């Protein structure tokens, strides 16, 4: 029969196991709550940073519009606006044309049509070559001198089996060589610069760095051709 002490031991053991599982449960629950709280905090910080960046961007846009209107308000409506840089909120990155007042704005500098004398396009291009091989062949060679020496030593020490073991530990060398046809491909990275000649002895050249955008080069040079055509009349 089970004695009273044994029954008490069983009850204590059950209570201990129950408390242990409860402790694990509470610990896991607290850990999960902590992780959720940290995740929530990170999300709130991310949203706050995003809102801050959006507000900063909005202020920059409002400031740009205010400066633009104050700077060019007297020129009439803009006819053409070509972005020549990455930051659209920098006036120096805009090539502007105000046909109503016959003004072209280059690098935030107002230039009357009549002062545009000509232009030149320069391409500081770079050719990049890439080579590739279709296949390779690997050749493994074994040093026979080393094999012979190892076989002799192995035979002296261990007999025939030793000779075989000595031979199989000979030094091997693997050489990999290209066997397929080498293919070389080239591509050209363009970097266009437009130099515009101005009737101004103190500052006679304006430079526009266009990068590799040939479409913008064509648009700007076509506009300059129209201005030069009008100046010739």
Pairing of strands 192-198, 126-133: unpaired
Residues 6+ apart with CB under 8 A from 99: 79
Instruction: State the pLDDT at residue 123.
Output: 93
Strand order in the sheet with 94-98: 80-83, 94-98, 103-106, 109-112
**Is the pTM higher than 0.85?**
no
Instruction: State the pLDDT at residue 162.
Output: 46
Mind listing the pLDDT tens digit for each residue in 59-84?
999 999 999 999 999 999 999 999 99
Mind listing the pLDDT tens digit for each residue in 156-208?
444 444 444 444 445 666 776 666 667 778 888 999 999 999 999 999 999 99
Mind listing the pLDDT tens digit for each residue in 117-162?
999 999 998 888 776 665 656 666 655 444 444 444 444 444 444 4
Question: Does 176 or 27 have the greater pLDDT score?
Answer: 27
The answer on pLDDT for 226 being more than 60 is yes
Q: Could you give the angle at the alpha carbon of 116 between the alpha carbons of 111 and 117, nearest 5°? A: 155
CA atoms within a 13 Å half-sphere pointing along the CA-CB vector of 17:
5
Q: Which helix (H) or strand (E) holds 208?
A: strand 205-211
Instruction: Name all domains of the chain by residue range, CATH numbers in brackets.
Output: 76-125+190-232 (2.30.29), 129-186 (no CATH)
Instruction: State the pLDDT at residue 161.
Output: 43
- Is the sign of the CA dihedral 144, 145, 146, 149 positive or negative? positive
């Amino acid at each position: 029969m089970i004695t009273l002490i044994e029954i008490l031991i069983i009850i204590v053991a059950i209570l201990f196991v129950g408390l242990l599982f409860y402790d694990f449960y509470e610990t896991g629950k607290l850990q999960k709550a902590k992780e959720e709280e940290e995740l929530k905090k990170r999300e709130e910080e991310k949203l706050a940073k995003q809102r801050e960046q959006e507000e900063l961007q909005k202020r920059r846009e409002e400031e740009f519009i205010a400066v633009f209107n104050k700077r060019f308000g007297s020129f009439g409506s803009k006819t053409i606006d070509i972005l020549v840089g990455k930051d659209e909120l920098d006036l120096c990155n805009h090539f502007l044309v105000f046909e109503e007042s016959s003004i072209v704005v280059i690098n935030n500098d107002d230039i009357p049509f009549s002062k545009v004398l000509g232009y030149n396009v320069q391409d500081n291009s770079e050719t990049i070559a890439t080579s590739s091989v279709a296949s390779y062949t690997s050749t493994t060679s074994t040093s026979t001198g080393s094999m012979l020496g190892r076989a002799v030593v192995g035979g002296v020490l261990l007999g025939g089996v030793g000779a075989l073991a000595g031979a199989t530990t000979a030094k091997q060398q693997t050489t990999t060589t290209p066997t397929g046809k080498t293919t070389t491909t080239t591509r050209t990275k363009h970097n266009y610069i437009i130099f515009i000649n101005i009737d101004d002895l103190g500052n006679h050249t304006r430079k526009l760095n266009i990068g590799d955008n040939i479409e913008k080069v064509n648009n700007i040079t076509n506009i300059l051709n129209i201005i030069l055509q009008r100046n010739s009349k």
